[in-house]
């Protein structure tokens, strides 16, 4: 696993850019029907998109025996983004400590910065994930 993480270090200073257009209800703020009428980007959707971007950076380095899970997120959503706007995400690996990969980034729409964030993903073995999940399920029985 550590060899995989060592290879990612090449990505430290490289900025990765992602984008999507806000044109689907899947991304809208929909906690109530009233909110849906505004057709603006929801914080939870943006967080999920950012996490997926982080996975896309790591994915080429993972083996069949590994998974990469989000373990911590610090997210500040600072501006609304209306329906139809493009959203741009700038993301980079800032540090690797053990099996933890730290990311930093910002998101923009066509007008201004809309978010800044950092998050961690941990690379673990699939066997460990399965074992811990079964152990916890067995505690219920």
- Quick one: pLDDT at residue 37? 56
pLDDT of residue 87: 93
Other CB atoms within 10 Å distance of the CB of residue 67 = 16
Confidence (pTM): 0.85
Q: Is a pLDDT exceeding 80 seen at residue 23?
A: no
- CATH class of the region 2-140: alpha beta
Q: CA-CA distance, 89 to 46, in Å (whole number)?
A: 10
Q: Could you tell me the two tokens for 55?
A: 């996975």
pLDDT confidence of 62, banded at 50, 70, 90?
Answer: very high
Q: Coil, strand or helix: which one is 49?
A: helix
What confidence tier does 95 reach under pLDDT thresholds 50, 70, 90? very high
Write out the E strands in 58-126.
66-77, 86-97, 100-108, 113-125
Task: Provide mean pLDDT across the span 38-53.
Answer: 88
Would the pLDDT of 39 be above 80? no
């Amino acid at each position: 696993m550590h060899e995989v993480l060592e290879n990612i270090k090449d990505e430290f200073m490289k900025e990765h850019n992602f984008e999507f257009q806000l044109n689907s209800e899947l991304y809208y703020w929909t906690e109530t029907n009233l909110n849906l009428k505004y057709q603006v980007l929801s914080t939870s959707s943006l967080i999920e998109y950012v996490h997926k971007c982080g996975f896309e950076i790591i994915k080429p380095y993972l083996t069949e025996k590994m998974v990469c899970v989000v373990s911590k997120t610090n997210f500040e959503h600072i501006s609304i983004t209306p329906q139809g706007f493009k959203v741009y995400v700038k993301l980079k690996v800032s540090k690797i400590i053990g099996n933890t990969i730290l990311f930093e980034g910002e998101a923009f729409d066509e007008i201004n910065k809309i978010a800044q964030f950092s998050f961690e993903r941990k690379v673990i073995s699939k066997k460990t994930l399965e074992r811990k999940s079964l152990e916890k399920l067995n505690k219920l029985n």
